[in-house]
Amino acid sequence: MYKKILTALFAIVTTISFMEAKDLNPKSLDKKQQNIITISAFTANGDMDKLQIAFVNGLDAGLTINEIKEIIVHLYAYVGFPRSLNSQNLFMQIVEDRKKAGKKDIEGKVASPKPKDYDTIEFGKKIRAKLAGLKEDYTGAPYQIFSPIMDEYLLSHLFGDVFVRDVVDYKTRELVTISALAAINDTAGQLKFHIPASMNMGLTKEQLEDFILVVDTKVGKNEAKIANEVLKEVLKTRK
């Protein structure tokens, strides 16, 4: 009788654990997107051990070599060249090691050439307006007045030269951005721009809730808590 009770209790606990584990599985983000989050987050916070695992999982999930390289390029604007270069060097070694081991990873598409009459500043203005959900780029913000050159570099290097590269789409770039911002300190202000921007680029409420879940389970609970507070604030203000 006692054995039967223990068996029944074990079955109940196992069922509950299975249900909880099932509930923790992101449903709106595919495996590629989930690995984009971890690659971006661990590049941003410099956790090379976890980044190595994220790279391998990302390649195994079907991310191409050029897509991951593009993610690393995109991140330099948010986490600096040192972190991006460290990430690139690690990824380069992983690609080489997998090739030697007989793994056939997909190289992927390369960026299309820029138009001959391409203007980085004007393109950057269009991209920033698009991200912000505006018809025209905003001007006159205090930081723009205080340091015009900072805004010029932001428009030309990030929203111009980086965003024009079509290896990954704008929705992916914003997923990369919010993942990196969530992984580092004191970036709630930037998340307040980029979480709405990610929705303007096509990420859904459900996908962003899954984004929080991935950050919580893979990156850190405090990081997820801060990002979730911003997400809740954003959702209250959106129609």
Q: What is the pLDDT of residues 78-124, one digit of tens each?
A: 999 999 999 999 999 999 999 999 999 999 999 999 988 999 999 99
CA distances 133 to 13, 126, 136, Å, are 48, 10, 9
CATH number for the domain harbouring residue 69: 1.20.1290.10
How many domains would you assign to the chain? Answer: 1
- Summarize pLDDT for 10-50 with one digit per residue, the tens: 333 333 332 333 344 667 999 999 999 999 999 999 999 99
CA distances 189 to 87, 128, 197, Å, are 25, 16, 13
pLDDT band at 59 (very low <50, low <70, confident <90, very high): very high
Question: Over pLDDT 70: what percentage of the chain?
Answer: 89
Domain that holds residue 76: 24-112+165-237
Is residue 188 one of the residues assigned to a domain?
yes
Is residue 60 one of the residues assigned to a domain?
yes
- Look up residue 23 and give its two tokens: 């509930």
- Does residue 157 have a pLDDT over 70? yes
Q: What is the pTM of this model?
A: 0.88
Is residue 47 one of the residues assigned to a domain?
yes
Task: Tell me the CB-side half-sphere exposure of residue 73, using CA atoms within 13 A.
Answer: 18
Tell me how far apart the terminal alpha carbons of the chain are, to the nearest angstrom: 59
pLDDT band at 8 (very low <50, low <70, confident <90, very high): very low
115: which DSSP letter? P
Place of tokens 């695992």: 53
28: which DSSP letter? S
